[in-house]
Amino acid sequence: MTSYRDVFVIVILACTMQTSCKMYKPEYTYNDFGTDLPDYADLDNWAAHPAKDDEADRMPEGGTVTYDHVMADVFFIHPTTYIGSKGEDKWNASLKDQKLNKKTDEGSIRFQSSAFNHAGRVFAPRYRQAHFIAYFTKDTASANKAFERAYRDVRAAFVHYLENENKGRPIILAGHSQGTNHAERLMDEFFTGKPLKNRMVAAYLIGMPLRKDRFADIFPCRDSTDTGCFVSWRTFKKGYKLPRGLTSNKVSVTNPLSWKTDEQFMPATANKGSLFYKFDKLKKHKMEARVAKDILWTNKPRFFGSIFLKTRNYHIADINFYYVNIRENAVLRTSKFKPGS
Give pLDDT, residue 25.
80
Give pLDDT, residue 287.
97
Contacts 24+ apart (CB under 8 A), 275-281: 275/60, 275/111, 275/320, 275/321, 275/323, 276/301, 276/303, 276/317, 276/320, 277/16, 277/17, 277/303, 279/58, 279/60, 279/110, 279/111, 280/60, 280/61, 280/62, 281/60
Query: What is the reported pTM?
Result: 0.92
What is the b/e burial string over 24-53, where b = at least 16 CB atoms within 10 angstroms of the residue's CB? bbbeeebeeeeeebbebeeeebbbbbbeee
Q: Helix (H, G, I), strand (E, B), or coil: what is residue 128?
A: coil
Among 147, 95, 127, 111, residue whose Cα is nearest residue 14: 111
Give pLDDT, residue 84.
86
Contact present, 112 and 78 (Cβ < 8 Å): yes
Give pLDDT, residue 291.
98
Please list the ranges in the chain whose pLDDT falls under 70. Answer: 1-21, 87, 306, 308, 340-341
Exposure of 142 in the CB half-sphere (CA atoms within 13 A): 19
Give pLDDT, residue 309.
75
DSSP summary character for residue 124: E
Question: SS3 string of 191-247?
Answer: HCCCHHHHHEEEEEEECCCCECCCCCCCCECCCCCCCCEEECCCEEECCCCCCCCCC
Angle (deg, nearest 10), helices 140-161 and 178-186? 60
| 256-279 tens-digit pLDDT | 999 999 999 999 999 999 999 899
Contact present, 145 and 30 (Cβ < 8 Å): yes
- Spans of all domains in the chain: 24-336
Q: How many helices (H) and strands (E) does the chain have?
A: 6, 9
Give pLDDT, residue 103.
96
Give pLDDT, residue 21.
52
Give pLDDT, residue 151.
98
Give pLDDT, residue 9.
34
Among 271, 277, 290, residue whose Cα is nearest residue 110: 277
The span from the CA of 272 to the CA of 322, in Å, is 8
